[in-house]
Amino acid sequence: MRVAAAVLAACFAAVSATAETVVDVKGTGAEKIRVSVDVKGDGAFANSLKRNLDLAGCFVIARDGAVKVTGSVGSTIVAEGRGKALSLPSTARDSKEARMEARMLADKMTETFGRQKGFACDRIAFVSKRGRDASELCTCYPDGYDILQLTSDGKSTVGPRWRGRDSIFFTGIRNAGPQVFEYNAATGRLSLKWSFKGLATGAAFSPDGRKAAIILSIHGNPELYVIDVEAGSWSRLTTTPFASEGQPCWSPDGRRIAYVSDESRKPQIYVIDVATKKKSLVTKAGSQNVDPDWGLDNRIVYVSRRSGGNQVAIVDMNGSDRTPTLVGEPGSWEHPSWSRDGRHVVAGRDKALFVVDTLPPEKGGDEPKRLFRNEGNWITPSWCR
């Protein structure tokens, strides 16, 4: 990561472009940019670059690409075409560093040629579940490489969420019951953050990182609270003596929180104003709607249970129309988490993790792509953005 950070700050030199040319080839209902990759040296670079460009959804790998990536790992790598050029001075000393450089180039190519935000460098936190009680905190990149297991205590780890780019909060079931822990991914330090009587889950941070939405049962049934991280003070937002709340997430402006409540006798998604505590029901269709995540473009992705199974769904909070958009096919989908591009989510299905394109096929959307094929039960992903 130290090498990657240094390279990221200084490795790209964009050459002034001429006018845009037409996009090269039509994909499934939309146009994609053809890219050829001929990079010498460590093959990990080319493999990672191809994988990440494929995940971005706006490229197709081809021998006769209109954008050509050439050069050598450990020297200079150039991506050039369509009137633009990017240069990467490569300093990779091993395959891990080569993959990191490839991710950075993929992000820059996505932004420069594809004109959308790249996410290849954004880690995904998730849980590796082992048996009934044990589960461990892990991270990897969207390309599925460089999986890191961050805890190894054989206890239960629940609901990881990012605070910034290096801090992961999760609920750990340890000797004293559910407690909220912080893992610093930069230093490797694990520390106990909060310990409450009863349930404590779903610690989700406001965009500025100053407040945490959390579900606590200190006054009885699970309710939604907000903790001021610096002051250490906390306030209660909901009072539903005959219902339970869960799974909070913040709006991009930090003024509202979406959460799940069963006060209408089946789990639905509500939104509450933090200042006024005024709440509103967001979802209605489906037998239950859970696992919300509020994206940077003000859309909420969640899982809706339908007759065919669980389906990824999206509701746009920008206007008054709350009609959901259903993504892909029903299945065992759970816990979708937005990427920074506002197009892709990472989600769990059948004990595995997938990058899911939320665009429909007629607009160029791709089929879900599995992160990795390691055996195990991989659940509750959270995408750093």
Q: Report the pLDDT value the prediction gives residue 131, as an integer from 0 to 100.
A: 74
Q: Report the pLDDT value the prediction gives residue 174, as an integer from 0 to 100.
A: 77
The predicted model scores a pTM of 0.91
Enclosing H/E stretch for 219: none
Q: What share of the chain is helix, strand, coil (3-state, %, to 5)?
A: 10, 45, 40
Rg (CA), the chain: 22
Q: 69, 26, 66, 64: which is closest to 50 by C-alpha?
A: 69
Sign for the pseudo-dihedral over CA of 323, 328, 333, 334: negative
Q: Report the pLDDT value the prediction gives residue 25, as an integer from 0 to 100.
A: 35
Q: Report the pLDDT value the prediction gives residue 307, as an integer from 0 to 100.
A: 85
Q: Report the pLDDT value the prediction gives residue 237, as an integer from 0 to 100.
A: 97
> Rounded CA gap, 1 and 259, in Å?
34
Q: 192, 187, 231, 194: which is closest to 215 by C-alpha?
A: 194
Q: Report the pLDDT value the prediction gives residue 90, as an integer from 0 to 100.
A: 98
Q: Report the pLDDT value the prediction gives residue 351, as an integer from 0 to 100.
A: 96
Q: Report the pLDDT value the prediction gives residue 7, as an integer from 0 to 100.
A: 37
> Rounded CA gap, 250 and 248, in Å?
7
Report yes or no: 234 and 223 within 8 Å, Cβ to Cβ.
no
Q: Report the pLDDT value the prediction gives residue 232, as an integer from 0 to 100.
A: 82
Q: Report the pLDDT value the prediction gives residue 18, as an integer from 0 to 100.
A: 30
Which parts of the chain have pLDDT scores under 50?
1-29
